[in-house]
Amino acid sequence: MAKFKLAPSILAADFACLGDQVEICLQEGCEFVHIDVMDGHFVPNITMGPNVVKALKPLLVKYNAVMDVHLMIENPDTYLMEFAEAGADVITVHVESCGRLSETVDMIRSLGVRPGITLNPDTELDNILEVIPNVDLVLIMSVNPGFGGQEFVPATMKKIADVRTILDETQSEAELEVDGGIKVSNIHSVVQAGASVVVAGSAIFDSGTTIAHNIVEIRKAANM
């Protein structure tokens, strides 16, 4: 059995019954819940903020799941405290929106939150290499951030493998998360390439039959 953690991206959920849908994911054993925060500046879409993190926190505590906050916003430093207070366990920031990535990472850790870093598909890995030893999670974006339901960018597969090599060579226990376009058809290769956390939005909330059934199918596909 391939070992990985599943992180439903609630961006694809039905917001009218968000709590119920998240609880189904947690009952199905999802270890993370992925919160896509977008500000209409860093990406051309507006989604949700700390109030959603706060509202879902008791549910995640009940199931012992990780509140995984992915900030796709300008000036993330300004909002770190609010997300920490709302209950984020991991806060991931984009190198493209951080003037001083390493200071932002330190700031996240000083708030008692696990720091993550990420980069867009077109951004070279070189831009984050120096900071990788200081983080608890490296997120590889496999679509251009902004929207759910996009196609996986195949070129990111090499980046996943390269980060896996770096983490293994340095005996780092940081999570390697992959986000965007994950489906039953490609999850096996992503996990094989070294992902330890896999984000799935539309594949869980917006395809096939029920949420529970989609989660079972995704896990099955990963292990085939």
Residue 170 CB, nearest approach to ligand DX5 (Å): 26
Indicate which single residue of 5, 70, 94, 159 sits in contact with Zn ion (rule: CB under 5 A).
Answer: 70
- Which parts of this chain interact with ligand DX5 (CB under 6 A)? 9, 11-12, 34, 36, 70, 143, 145-146, 148-150, 179-182, 199-203
Q: Which does 202 bind (CB under 5 to 8 A by kind): Zn ion, ligand DX5, none?
A: ligand DX5
Indicate which single residue of 179, 191, 193, 217 sits in contact with Zn ion (rule: CB under 5 A).
Answer: 179
Return the closest-CA partner of residue 218 out of 205, 204, 201, 206.
204
Give every CB contact of residue 220 below 8 A, 6+ residues apart in sequence. Answer: none
Active site residue 36: yes
Beta strands in the chain (DSSP E): 5-8, 32-38, 66-72, 90-94, 114-119, 137-141, 175-179, 197-200
Site residue total, Zn ion (CB under 5 A): 3
In degrees rounded to 5, what are phi and psi of residue 203?
-65, -25
Question: How many Cα neighbours within 13 Å face the side chain of 64?
Answer: 1
Count Cβ atoms below 10 Å from residue 180 Cβ, excluding itself. 25
Nearer to Zn ion, 70 or 219 (CB): 70
In which element (H, E) is residue 127 found? none
Nearer to Zn ion, 46 or 110 (CB): 46
Nearer to Zn ion, 9 or 104 (CB): 9
Active site residue 68: no
Nearer to ligand DX5, 49 or 149 (CB): 149
Q: Which residues are catalytic?
A: 36, 179
